[in-house]
DNA sequence: CCTTAATCGAGACGGTACGTCGTGTCTTTAT
DNA sequence: ATAAAGACACGACGTACCGTCTCGATTAAGG
């Protein structure tokens, strides 16, 4: 009977995988799924994208590779799932402080945090395995995706609000300019190794974005 | 003394595979090095970064792994070397047509070609193995590298030329704006899967770069 | 896909590995183990100890190195296992023809056959990797092992039987004399390259062993 | 590790390699040969037969593989040469104390020492590479070689001396009995891992050899 | 004394095998 | 039906030694 004693967790570990799961039963369904995603997330953070292995995830989740593969057929898909679970999603309400600069700055701060949590290495890894635009960029979102649309819409709304205040003419602002601050910040993130500072955000807004949009009158 | 100058063959032997290399003799030095780099380049293009293997390169070059590893201790370093050999380096002279837009456009066209030849997958792969900025980005160059300086200097010269014509005030243009067209084009390249069109270049120049630099007067 | 078609054998080969094993399924456990041991045995005989390789065994068994190493972590252990499977073990009953000479001769013939099948080269190889006495010598058995005890016991019983017939006094015969015929025959085997003839056995018995034991009265 | 500590000689070792050779000059001929043999001997003793490599010998001798191979085309031949240089050869005079037992014991002691110096592992290694009888057995000599003849002749002379004293009839003693003590001692050496004691020698002489030869009258 | 041929030193080369690791599939047993 | 456990096929890893070869430096020998 002690043979059956595998695959469950010590009390201290339990909270990680499943906080209120009965201990003596074999895990399945959501419970097991959560345990795997947690293990994947931990493994990703400890080992880095390149050195994370499906084997390591299975062991850490106290299950086996087949069970992992049954749900996520590749490392990249597993990671995407883990990101969905563990990276906080930015709120999607439209900032409206009455000040265009503050609104944009708020928005840019929202995006930098999850991006930094995921890390550039993981993004490069996911992009490498052609998961391409849409799937990967769910969190920090990159370009041309439907998720992109969502963010562009928010910025557009902010610009419309500024237009109401007579600060600019939103109709004359092209999509490229709308997404410009995010593009720049994402490029910075992908290529630079240092964390993105608030000063960088402000520099982009003050010397590039605002001059461009305010010139449209 | 150039006693370490062994294995150097006549310039005619430098041709890539060994087209005019005596067949009956063991390849050495530059001849062999070229064969390996050619094999690496071919393998990279046929298989893609992720599926290219050191073993495959060795076999294709008709040599063995140890010989490859002796020169380049990792896949990424081998690829960087192959890129250096097979990707045409953009000319570094400063365009001076008398027209700012043409000058910048010329410069941007120069950089897109080698970038496209290398391919986004390879860049992501190299970035993944954190060879980071300086080494990898020799060709398409990304950010914060000494190579970056070189390109920024060229742009700055172009801007200075425009300044002489009274088109703008170069002193008021920050580094971020100077590198802006390149940053955007590289971001486009890394994230989008489609080739970068001339229209995209023009859009960036006409709607973003020129408005910004011309506003500085 | 023929990729999936691996791991089983053509009908003509089947008899070698496992005669009545289902063809379309992946081999496991004993079936696979037998295939590997057979391959090891064949490889040993074709190549000789020094030129037999784990790689060659894996290929011949139509499996892979990892599977071989999982069971036998070294070449010598694999060979020992193959010997256990393919070298006929001598019967262990005590010959009792009523004639001491015949009894001893029978016993010595029993040991020479398996010894010759294994071959001197293999024994030297195994001894070289200091698997030493006990493990290797299971078949031809050398010295100081528990297996040795078994043989000595048999000889002792034969001598006791002769004692009952009044031919000698078994108590006066030391262990060294008891094992003498086997020691000599094994020495002959290890050092000489020619097969051991029946005449050699008889010479050892008639001119050395019998005179010594019969003098003990 | 001291395994990596190759290629460096202690002052005391230097004298072995080349006692009075100018230090700053390139070695050749006998000087170099001695250095290689010394290195081979040291390497053999430190690493054991199986783990000694030509590469290691070359490094330790501060030369290169080609120079080693030019002289000895294989590891086993190099080892044989090193043994010839470093294992003391037993004296070949015939003991004649007037006591048969003492004479034989003296002879057997002579052979055990060099045998133990060489070591069983090396013998097995040499036998494995079918250098076979004659070459290998130069020192401890095994069977059927011309070197064997020499030893048998010595024993025969001892027996003849005993015959003159009326102790036995030498003509009735077969070759197998003559070589018996040596065969047994060599077998003991090859198979047992423990050093051969004087007691073992005496046991063989007193309970096996002497009874056999003295019965021939 | 100077040339010539030999051979040393240094190490690259083509090659084989090593033993390990990771992937993704498959089987078996237990729940 | 599916989790757990782990064996299996596959392929690549990076290393170690093998025995050969190339090339320049050194040195002994001969004119």
User: Could you tell me the CATH number of the domain that includes residue B75?
Assistant: 1.10.10.60
The last residue of one of the domains, among C41, C60, C86, is: C86
Residues C141 and C82 occupy one common structural domain: no
pLDDT value of residue B130? 67
- Residue pair A27/A36 in contact by the 8 Å Cβ criterion: no
The string of pLDDT tens digits covering residues C165-211 is 988 988 889 999 999 999 999 998 888 777 899 999 999 999 999 99
Give the H/E segment covering residue D186.
Answer: helix D180-191
If one counts the domains in chain A, the total is 2
- Chain D interface mutation, best of C120, C190, C206, C216, highest count of D Cβ atoms under 10 Å: C190
pLDDT of residue B17: 41
Strand F close residues, chain D 130-169, CB < 7 angstroms: none
Which of B124, B174, B211 is nearest residue A127 as measured by Cβ atoms?
B124
C170 and C196 part of one domain? yes
User: The dihedral of CA A152, A157, A158, A160: what is its sign?
Assistant: positive
pLDDT (mean) for C69-95: 92
Nearest nucleotide relative to B6: CA against C1'? F23
In a domain? residue C177:
yes
Question: Nearest by CB to C143, which of D124, D144, D191?
Answer: D191
For residues B17 and B106, membership in a common domain is answered with no
Residue A145: pLDDT above 90?
A: no
Q: Do D172 and D135 have their domain in common?
A: yes
Most confidently predicted of A137-146, C41-50, D129-138: C41-50
Cross-chain residue pair D192–C144, CB shorter than 8 Å: yes
Q: How confident is residue A206, by pLDDT bands cut at 50, 70 and 90?
A: very high
Same domain, C112 and C210: yes
Binding partners of B (≥3 Cβ pairs within 8 A): A
For chain C, the residues whose C-beta falls within 8 A of a C-beta of chain D are 49-50, 120-121, 124-125, 127-130, 132-133, 137, 142-144, 174, 176-177, 180, 183-184, 186-188, 190-193, 203-204, 207-208, 211-212, 215
Other beta carbons within 10 angstroms of residue C165's beta carbon come to 10
The minimal CB distance from B191 to the residues A125, A143, A204 is found for A143
Per-residue confidence (pLDDT) for residue D185, from 0 to 100:
93
The nt closest to C24 (CA vs C1′) is E26
The answer to whether residue B118 sits within a structural domain is yes
pLDDT at res. D217: 65
Q: Which nucleotide is nearest to A73 (CA to C1')?
A: E24
pLDDT score of D24: 66
C76: in domain: yes
Nearest residue, CB atoms, B212 vs list A127, A203, A208: A208
In angstroms, the first-to-last Cα distance of chain A is 78
Contacts of A54 (CB under 8 A, 6+ apart): A65, A68, A69, A75, A78
| Residue C208 per-residue DSSP state | I
Q: What percent of chain C has pLDDT over 70?
A: 79
Residues of D with CB under 8 A from a CB of C: 49-50, 120-121, 124-125, 127-130, 132-133, 137, 142-144, 174, 176-177, 180, 183-184, 186-188, 190-193, 203-204, 207-208, 211-212, 215
- DSSP secondary structure code for residue D209 in this structure: I
D59 by DSSP, 3-state: which? helix
D112 and D81, same domain (yes or no): no
Closest CB from C127, C188, C212 relative to D212: C212
Is A207's CB within 8 Å of B176's CB? yes
Measured between beta carbons, which residues in chain C are less than 8 angstroms from residue D133? Answer: 191-193
Reply yes or no on whether the pLDDT at A202 is more than 60: yes
Give strand ranges (E) for C29-127.
Answer: none
Instruction: Let me know whether D77 and D176 are in one domain.
Output: no
Quick one: D137 and D59 in the same domain?
A: no
> For a pLDDT cut of 90, what percent of chain C falls above it?
58
User: CA–CA distance from C69 to each of B111, C9, C18, C64, C208 (Å)?
Assistant: 52, 21, 21, 9, 46
Å between CA of A75 and C1' of F2: 22
**CB–CB of D207 and C124 under 8 A?**
no
Whether nucleic acid strand F comes within 7 Å of the CB of B25, the answer is: yes
In a domain, B121, yes or no: yes
pLDDT at C3 over 50: no
Tens digits of residue pLDDT in B87-141: 998 888 999 998 999 999 999 999 999 999 998 889 899 988 864 334 444 444 4
Using pLDDT thresholds of 50, 70 and 90, give the confidence band for residue A155: very high
Confidence class of residue D209 from pLDDT cuts 50, 70 and 90? very high
Chain A hits for B191, CB-CB cut-off 8 Å, are 127, 133, 137, 142-144, 186
Measured in angstroms, the CA of C52 and the nearest CA of chain D are apart by 13
* Nearest chain C Cα distance for residue D191, angstroms: 6
pLDDT digits (tens, 9 = 90+) for B3-36: 333 333 333 333 334 344 455 678 888 899 999 9
Cβ contacts of A49 on chain B, cutoff 8 Å: 128
Q: Does residue D82 share a domain with residue D55?
A: yes
The pLDDT value recorded for residue A65 is 92
Distance, in Å, from the CA atom of C211 to the CA atom of D212, rounded to the nearest integer, reads 7
pLDDT of residue A147: 66
> Is the shortest CB-to-strand distance from D186 to strand F under 7 Å?
no
Q: Of C63, C86, C109, which residue is a domain's last?
A: C86
- Which residues 43-72 on D are within 7 A of strand F at the CB atom? 51, 53-56, 64-66, 69
A34-93 pLDDT, tens per residue? 899 999 999 999 998 999 999 999 999 999 999 999 999 989 889 989 998 898 888 888
Q: Are residues B193 and B123 in the same domain?
A: yes
B203 token code pair: 């859009």
Cβ of residue A7 lies below 7 Å from strand F? yes
Distance D71 CA to E2 C1' (A): 31
| Residue D194, pLDDT score | 79
Regarding whether A128 and A34 lie in a shared domain, the answer is no
Distance from CA of A205 to the nearest CA of B (A): 12
Residue-wise pLDDT for B32-74, tens only, equals 999 999 999 999 999 999 999 999 999 999 999 999 999 999 9
- Look at A211-215, B166-170, C189-193 and tell me which has the smallest mean pLDDT: C189-193
Let me know if D207 is exposed, middle or buried by CB neighbors in 10 A (0-12, 13-18, 19+).
middle
| CA-to-C1' span, C59 to F6 (A) | 23
Q: What is the mean pLDDT of chain C?
A: 82
Chains B and D physically touch (3 or more Cβ atom pairs below 8 Å): no
Q: Are residues D203 and D114 in the same domain?
A: yes
Chain B interface, mutation test: which of A49, A118, A124, most B Cβ atoms within 10 Å?
A124
How confident is the model at residue A108, as a pLDDT? 92
Sort out which chain C residues have CB atoms less than 8 A from D127's CB and list them: 120, 124, 190-191
Closest CA to the C1' of F24: that residue is: B3
- Residue D113 resides in a domain: yes
- Cβ C65 to strand F below 7 Å: yes
Tell me which residue range forms the domain holding B198: 100-214
Q: What is the 3-state secondary structure (H, E, C) of chain A?
A: CHHHHCCCCCHHHHHHHCCCCCCCCCCCHHHHHHHHHHHHHHHHHHHCCCCCCHHHHHHHCCCCHHHHHHHCCCHHHHHHHHHHHHCCCCCCCCCCCCCHHHHHHHHHHHHHHHHHHHCHHHHHHHHHCCCHHHHHCCCCCCCCCHHHHHHHHHHHHHHHHHHHCCCCCHHHCCHHHHHHHHHHHHHHHHHCCCCCCHHHHHHHHHHHHHHHHHCCC
How much is the pLDDT for B4?
A: 32
pLDDT at D139: 47
Task: Specify the pLDDT at position C23.
Answer: 54
Given a cut of 50, is residue D19 above it in pLDDT?
A: no
Q: Of D41, D64, D86, which one is at a domain's C-terminal end?
A: D86
């Amino acid at each position: 009977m002690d043979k059956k004693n595998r695959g469950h967790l010590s009390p201290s570990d339990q909270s990680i995988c499943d906080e209120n799961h009965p201990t003596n039963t074999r895990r399945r369904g959501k419970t097991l799924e959560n345990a795997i995603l947690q293990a994947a997330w931990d493994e990703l953070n400890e080992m880095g994208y390149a050195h994370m292995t499906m084997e390591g995830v299975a062991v850490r989740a106290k299950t086996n590779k087949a069970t992992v593969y049954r749900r996520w057929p590749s490392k990249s898909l597993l990671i995407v799932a883990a990101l969905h679970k563990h990276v906080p999603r930015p709120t999607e309400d439209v900032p409206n402080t009455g000040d265009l600069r503050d609104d944009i700055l708020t928005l840019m701060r929202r995006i930098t945090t999850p991006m930094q949590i995921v890390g550039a290495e993981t993004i490069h890894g996911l992009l490498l395995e052609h998961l391409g635009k849409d799937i990967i960029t769910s969190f920090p979102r990159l370009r041309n995706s439907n998720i992109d649309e969502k963010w562009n819409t928010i910025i557009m709304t902010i610009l419309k609000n500024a237009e109401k205040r007579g600060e600019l003419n939103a109709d004359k602002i092209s999509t490229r300019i709308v997404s410009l601050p995010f593009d720049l910040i994402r490029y910075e993130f992908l290529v630079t190794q240092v964390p993105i500072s608030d000063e960088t955000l402000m520099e982009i807004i003050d010397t590039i974005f605002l001059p461009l949009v305010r010139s449209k009158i």
